[in-house]
Amino acid sequence: MVSHAIKLGDALEPLLIEVNEDLVRKYGEVSGDFNPIHFDDRASKEKGFSAKIIHGMLSMAIASNIVEPYLDKGYWVKTYEMKFKAPVLVGETISIKGTIESVEKESFTIDITVSSPTYPQVAKSRFMLHVYK
Amino acid sequence: MNFKQYEGTVTQPVAITITEALVKAYFEASGNRKSAIDYVPPALPMIFYQYINVPWFHEQSFIHKDQVFHYEHPISIGDTIQCTVSLISVENRRQFLVLHQELIGKNVHGKMVFSAKSTLLKEAE
């Protein structure tokens, strides 16, 4: 059963993470994705961006850190979805904010917004967490 | 590339074992300096693409629009997962091609552990 401490409308502890070249390089290495738009400003500009951009899936990896406190307390991720709205430039600090959107007997959902200095909404996301049995 | 010719194609299965080193490297890349690895992050399966021969991905780049992970149960370090990628559909939408594809992971008994559905955009040639 979901803990009574988890309440509809509660805000999660927000995260602020600078997505620097080191993180982008490490994500490239772990994923095998070395698309030049993530590493070379010129290649990125040729594709219409203002500078090199981070991997979309790196945003998703970083944003999932916000639910870690629940994963340490007996919940697991049943679903995790993200809609990518705008790119994040390498070197920007992104903000991840979350709110409890619904609470059921054995699961709850969290809505997440990812923003950057350039775009107020770079991604929208939702988690469904389930009680570990 | 004629993506339409691959519609309905499913790749050969590839067995991938979740190691602590892989999960640790993934956490480090996501800015999480955990001292103990006590869970596998939910978006990690996307890095499995590098081990799978996906013919419609050869020398292509896409705009990632939507991503949905669904788990039947959590994955753990030491699990070996059989992974395939299928191209579900290819649609024309204005100047873009929209690809819907799915990475599926099954356990050693053939039961689905997770699915990772992606919506990708490609400028039409």
B46 touches chain A (CB under 8 A): yes
Mean pLDDT of chain A, nearest integer: 96
Q: Mean pLDDT throughout A69-94? A: 96
What is the reported pLDDT for B1?
Answer: 86
- pLDDT classification of B60: cutoffs 50, 70, 90: confident
Q: DSSP letters along B47-103, please?
A: GGGGGS--GGGTT---EEEEEEEEESS---TT-EEEEEEEEEEEEEETTEEEEEEEE
State the complex-level ipTM.
Answer: 0.95
Look at residue A44 in the predicted model and tell me its pLDDT: 94
Q: What is the pLDDT of residues A82-114, one digit of tens each?
A: 999 999 999 999 999 999 999 999 999 999 999
CATH of B3-123, one of 3.90.190.10, 3.10.129.10, 3.30.1490.20, 3.40.50.720: 3.10.129.10
**Three-state SS at A22:** helix
Residue pLDDT, tens place only, A45-62: 998 999 999 999 999 999
Enumerate domains of chain A plus CATH numbers.
15-131 (3.10.129.10)
- Chain A neighbors of B71, CB-CB under 8 A: 76-79
In whole numbers, what is the pLDDT of chain B averaged over residues? 94
Domain residue spans of chain B: 3-123
Give B-chain residues touching A53 at CB under 8 angstroms: none
Confidence of residue B64 (pLDDT cuts 50, 70, 90): very high
Contact B68 A23 (CB under 8 A): no
B33 within 8 A of B27, measured Cβ to Cβ = yes
